[in-house]
Amino acid sequence: MTDRIWLSGTLLGRLDETTRDRLLAVGIRRSVKESQVVLREGALESHVVLLDDALAKVTVEMADGRQALLAIRMSGDIVGEISALNGTPRTATVTACRASIVRIIHRNAFRAFLRSNPDAATEVAGIVADRLRWANRRRVDFASYPVKVRLARVLWEIATAYGRRSREGLVVDVGLTQSELATLCGAAEISLQKALGTMREAGILATGYREIVILNSQGLRAVADLDDFA
């Protein structure tokens, strides 16, 4: 059905071609506009959304009414899988960051697909586990590490899942603003800018408009103190 290359950190990137085409065929193709809400926190819905050609952000509402950025999702990712699997309300809001193409997969169709494609079910379980691990690690990081370490860990996680190789290094061009990146790191924007500046001066990364290039992957891992992690 498609010869597109999907990033390895996404669900479609983890599936073999035949299974991937089956999943794409199950979904109902929809176009969404920039800033359009795809899933809304608290909604009683059970379908999943497969991001076909998309960039989206995952947010939750804080007690003061502000939106906290939890994660970003890219083409090939799936969102809304928890509600589809256990019938609970949406735990976060997913909003398109640009004009996008998504595929809506109703709960019964999604569950039937997983039953008939056990390898895909295993990959979905793996993605849920990875996201839980990411959330748990962020809680520890916020309590235990300075901003520079938290930033390095966030950049490493994003780069390994969504980065693309270039002659300069590993490019992270997922469209995050510095404010959104600061939220992901649990830091004030001025503290984030200082940490970015320190790593620029050390030759670990370069920055552009909504783009970061990892020039020295080992240097970034060293700052992130990731020796104990695969």
The reported pTM is 0.74
Q: DSSP secondary-structure letter at 204?
A: S
For residues 163 and 154, give the distance between their C-alpha atoms in angstroms, rounded to a whole number.
Answer: 12
Neighbours of 54 (CB within 10 A): 24
pLDDT digits (tens, 9 = 90+) for 120-170: 999 999 999 988 887 777 666 666 788 999 899 889 888 887 788 888 899
Residue 1 has pLDDT above 60, yes or no: no
Cα Dmax for the chain: 53
Using DSSP, state whether 74 is helix, strand or coil: strand
pLDDT digits (tens, 9 = 90+) for 177-215: 888 888 778 788 999 999 999 999 999 999 988 789 999
Which residue type, as a one-letter code, is found at position 85?
A: L
Write down the pLDDT at residue 170: 92
For residues 222 and 148, give the distance between their C-alpha atoms in angstroms, rounded to a whole number.
Answer: 11
Domains, the chain, in order of start with CATH, read 11-138 (2.60.120.10), 147-224 (1.10.10.10)
